[in-house]
Structure 1
Amino acid sequence: MSDPRQIQRTLDLALRVGEMLLSNGAGAADVTATMSSIAHHLGLRQALVDVTFTTLEISYQPAFDEPAFSLTRHVTHRETDFEDLTDVDQVVTDLLSDTIDLDEARARVARIASTGHHISRWAVTASYAFIGGGVALLIGGDWLVTLIAAVAASGIEVLQRYLSRLRLPFFYAQVAGGLFATLLAVLARAVDLKVDPSLVITASIVMLLAGLGFIGALQDALTGFYVTAVARILEVMMSTVGVIVGVSGGLTVGGLLGVDITLDPGAAGLSRLPLMVTGAAVAAAAFAYSAYAPGRSIVPIAAVGGVAAAIYLVLAEHDLGRAWPAGIAALFIGLVGFTVASWCRVPPLVVVVAAIVPLLPGLSIYRGLSLLAADDYAGILAMITAAAIAISLAAGVILGEYVAQPVRREARRLEQRLAGPRLVGPLRARAKRR
């Protein structure tokens, strides 16, 4: 390709696709490989792609004695939007299979970026209630705990949406969410409701952790994108610290009012295993729905989330600790996520992120906070356990994808910087001869 205008249009398409993937949680390796595939397929050999946490750059030099073309975009907005992720992934697949041309691809990407969602806000708020209620069932809550957890989750969603409109940093939204849930549990305890408030708070913590970039952060670290990995890990840590600050603030308020809610929910056991697995399936499906996942993927995601939770619960009852059962359950998600995603025609990232939600370490975080509030430094160990569970979940998913998704020879030649499994983007790209 030698036409400067076509070169600019090709680079712009690759850059816009990369921006949408990165802003929706795709790993830097997947974004780099996808952008390189687009440029190579459209005739730009040896285009250079550089991806960091906030910046994407792509450049191309037709010859050593000609000036280089270079475009840069900054990622300023991040969200979990599975619909846009799936649609952009399909555009790339169609482009690389020559189903559409450059102009049609550019038009479709622009349409995806400018089109809203068919799901109304009230439906998203209701889905958050199902996330909270499902997690409450998973950790052994009764019908009253489930109801209060559902109310807390929907209230958190409304509160965080309002704070987002005020353009406050996400850290403060996490603090507000944790504080709201804990104060609601304090109120339930103060009016002598027969409910374990610790279960309500634990369910709310899991909901607040859902959608954070655990998987993307570890994938970047494993695939050599250390700068982006550090930035993602710091973002996850700040969001998690926000939850901790909010919950600890609520516990402090409860203590000042003479309301003791620092109870340890303990292990629920397997006596209610079917109900607990159902809760996990509901939570996974509800999160996928709240993130605008295509309707065809909701039921399969629920099945994967439910089975993974059953694996975790059964293994956790055999004195294997918490990190190993979580890692093995996540390994299962990674193994089946690739196949399920192919059936549902969505990127594997959609399946694994949603299915992993019920396994997030809300219980360990709450235990740690409760112990620290009582000046028991064993709470530090509980916090370390929570971090170990989070790492095990992300590492298990990535390992499952390594096993389930072989890297084709052609993809290896075309995408040299890809050092791990693809969670977004085409698995095989065919270079178009010109």
Structure 2
Amino acid sequence: MTTSAPQTLRIMDLALRAGEMLLSNGAGTADVSATMSSIARHFGLRGTYVDVTYIMLTMVHDQQLDEPPLILRRNVVRRETDFEDVTAIDRLVSDLLNDEIDLDEARSRLASISASGHARPRWVVIGGAGLVGAGVAMMLGGEAMVTAIAFLAAVVIEYVRRPLEVRRLPDFYIQVVGGLCASLIAVTAAAASVPSPPSLVIAANIVVLLAGLGLMGAIQDALTGYHLTAVARLLEVVLATGGIVAGVSGGIMVGRMLGVDLGSGTSWPDISHLPFVTIGAGLAAAGFAVQTYAPWSSVPVIAAIGAGAGALSAAMFQNNIDRPWAAGIAAFLIGVVSYPASRALRIPALVLVVPAIVPLLPGLTIYRSLAQLSEESLSGIFAGITAMAVAVALAAGVILGEYAAQPLGRETRRLERRLSGPRLVGPFRAKSRRK
């Protein structure tokens, strides 16, 4: 099918805008590239090249040999993660590839999605962050008072971070402020003799601060061959995590100056605490789903998957399975379960797996590492290595689970060979339009 240059540019612009929204909301480079290429192929643009970096998208369409190529670029604007937008884009592309809408309607719908903003009130989003903190504190064995303080600390952190984000302060400094808030609230709780380790408040809110980082996208890019983008994303994650470490360390230092000892953290609760671990993991996963604007219909499913994964990981760890392996196996099952669930709900798997792994993030291990290093103990180095291993195991396990769950039919195998890996968002088949 032959298209004119203006029509080709309109198709390329649609693909670029859809790809930009997916990439800015945490989608992997392979998923973004495949989605953009699928749109181009659907309209018969065969000689189209897609290049995705962390800050820019480029599409090049070769016309006739004696004509210059058409080139469009689009900068990737940093956005607050909005899984409702990701779901809307995924459904739009699906409708387009199934010929349920035409190019003009697709462009109109995409413009509406981009301009609609967040439908969820801000106080609900902040409450979701509080649920993440409270849920993780419950998982770690915190009593009612500590769970309430963890909830309050997460709410305070979100209130403090929001104006800093509006003022475009770099993420490193925002994470420093968040970590400092968490640790100072824990110092206050310890000074008030709260009857449960206030260090759990810090560990829980480290998870709150880690949850928004794009670790899974970085690992997915690394595993699927997009190493340049993976390095950029990993550097951003490392800097943001460094900010958390600096903020928490500063709070621990202030506590020591005031004569308040937060301790080096508690041990994981025993198997008798498993019901609370399950409930806490479900709350944390649901809270992050609310915080990232996941569709309401998906929140109960996310809570159930997160609760099951949290319980499984805790049970394996209590049976002498190393933390990275326990986290990786639980994450693998998250990926396996999330694929059919996402198909049933008509939402991208990304919307399910990212919140579901939040309860498994190594907040307590990171706190132990910091506390032990502040005491000049070399054990802190090994705790830090364990935390990194857990984080990588979570991302790699989820992606492997998605790969194992996806159909292995002939068409899918061919597509996956072209995409170099599993998919978390976007179409699985690119159907060209019939003349």
Give the TM-score normalised by the residue count of structure 2. 0.98
Q: State the AA in 2 paired with 1:346.
A: I
Q: State the AA in 2 paired with 1:339.
A: P
Are the counterparts in 2 of residues 22 and 28 from structure 1 also a CA contact under 8 Å? Answer: yes
Number of residues of Structure 1 aligned to a counterpart in Structure 2: 434
Looking at structure 2, the residues matched to 334 and 210 of structure 1 have their Cα atoms a distance apart, in angstroms, of: 17
Post-superposition, which runs of at least 4 consecutive aligned residues in structure 1 deviate over 6 A? none
Looking at structure 2, the residues matched to 295 and 49 of structure 1 have their Cα atoms a distance apart, in angstroms, of: 34
Are the counterparts in 2 of residues 326 and 359 from structure 1 also a CA contact under 8 Å? Answer: yes
Do the aligned partners of residues 238 and 408 (structure 1) sit closer, same or farther apart at CA in structure 2, a change above 3 Å counting? farther
Counterpart in 1 of 2:5? Answer: 4
Question: Following TM superposition, by how much is the alpha carbon of 1:394 offset from its aligned partner in structure 2, in angstroms?
Answer: 0.6
Question: Following TM superposition, by how much is the alpha carbon of 1:413 offset from its aligned partner in structure 2, in angstroms?
Answer: 5.3
Are the counterparts in 1 of residues 264 and 367 from structure 2 also a CA contact under 8 Å? Answer: no
Looking at structure 1, the residues matched to 313 and 196 of structure 2 have their Cα atoms a distance apart, in angstroms, of: 25
Counterpart in 1 of 2:429? Answer: 428
When structure 1 is superposed on structure 2, of 256-265 and 277-286 the one drifting more is 256-265
Task: Write the mapping of 1:147-296 to structure 2, written as runs, cut at 5 A.
Answer: 147-296=148-297
When structure 1 is superposed on structure 2, of 398-407 and 135-144 the one drifting more is 398-407
Question: Following TM superposition, by how much is the alpha carbon of 1:321 offset from its aligned partner in structure 2, in angstroms?
Answer: 1.3
Counterpart in 2 of 1:331? Answer: 332
Counterpart in 1 of 2:303? Answer: 302
Looking at structure 2, the residues matched to 123 and 283 of structure 1 have their Cα atoms a distance apart, in angstroms, of: 14
Looking at structure 2, the residues matched to 292 and 222 of structure 1 have their Cα atoms a distance apart, in angstroms, of: 27
Counterpart in 2 of 1:80? Answer: 81
Do the aligned partners of residues 411 and 47 (structure 1) sit closer, same or farther apart at CA in structure 2, a change above 3 Å counting? farther
Counterpart in 2 of 1:33? Answer: 34
Q: State the AA in 2 paired with 1:119.
A: R
Question: Following TM superposition, by how much is the alpha carbon of 1:417 offset from its aligned partner in structure 2, in angstroms?
Answer: 4.0
Looking at structure 1, the residues matched to 308 and 122 of structure 2 have their Cα atoms a distance apart, in angstroms, of: 30
Counterpart in 2 of 1:13? Answer: 14
Query: 1:318 aligned to 2:319?
Result: yes
Do the aligned partners of residues 242 and 158 (structure 1) sit closer, same or farther apart at CA in structure 2, a change above 3 Å counting? same
Do the aligned partners of residues 319 and 413 (structure 1) sit closer, same or farther apart at CA in structure 2, a change above 3 Å counting? closer
Do the aligned partners of residues 65 and 415 (structure 1) sit closer, same or farther apart at CA in structure 2, a change above 3 Å counting? farther
Are the counterparts in 2 of residues 33 and 415 from structure 1 also a CA contact under 8 Å? Answer: no
Looking at structure 2, the residues matched to 414 and 430 of structure 1 have their Cα atoms a distance apart, in angstroms, of: 12
Superposed CA offset, 1:196-215 (max 9, x none): 11111000000100021111
Are the counterparts in 1 of residues 15 and 40 from structure 2 also a CA contact under 8 Å? Answer: yes
Superposed CA offset, 1:262-298 (max 9, x none): 2321121111211210010011011001111111100
Give the TM-score normalised by the residue count of structure 1. 0.98
Question: Following TM superposition, by how much is the alpha carbon of 1:407 offset from its aligned partner in structure 2, in angstroms?
Answer: 5.4
Unaligned runs of 5+ in 1: none
Corresponding residue SS for 1:271 = helix
Counterpart in 1 of 2:70? Answer: 69
* Amino-acid identity (%): 54
Looking at structure 2, the residues matched to 212 and 121 of structure 1 have their Cα atoms a distance apart, in angstroms, of: 20
Are the counterparts in 2 of residues 182 and 247 from structure 1 also a CA contact under 8 Å? Answer: yes
Q: State the AA in 2 paired with 1:356.
A: I
Corresponding residue SS for 1:50 = strand
Q: State the AA in 2 paired with 1:17.
A: A
Do the aligned partners of residues 116 and 37 (structure 1) sit closer, same or farther apart at CA in structure 2, a change above 3 Å counting? same
Counterpart in 2 of 1:94? Answer: 95
Are the counterparts in 1 of residues 128 and 291 from structure 2 also a CA contact under 8 Å? Answer: yes
Do the aligned partners of residues 14 and 7 (structure 1) sit closer, same or farther apart at CA in structure 2, a change above 3 Å counting? same
Query: 1:128 aligned to 2:95?
Result: no
User: What is the CA RMSD across the aligned residues, in angstroms?
Assistant: 1.2
Corresponding residue SS for 2:59 = strand
Superposed CA offset, 1:228-256 (max 9, x none): 00001111111111111100010011111
Counterpart in 2 of 1:356? Answer: 357
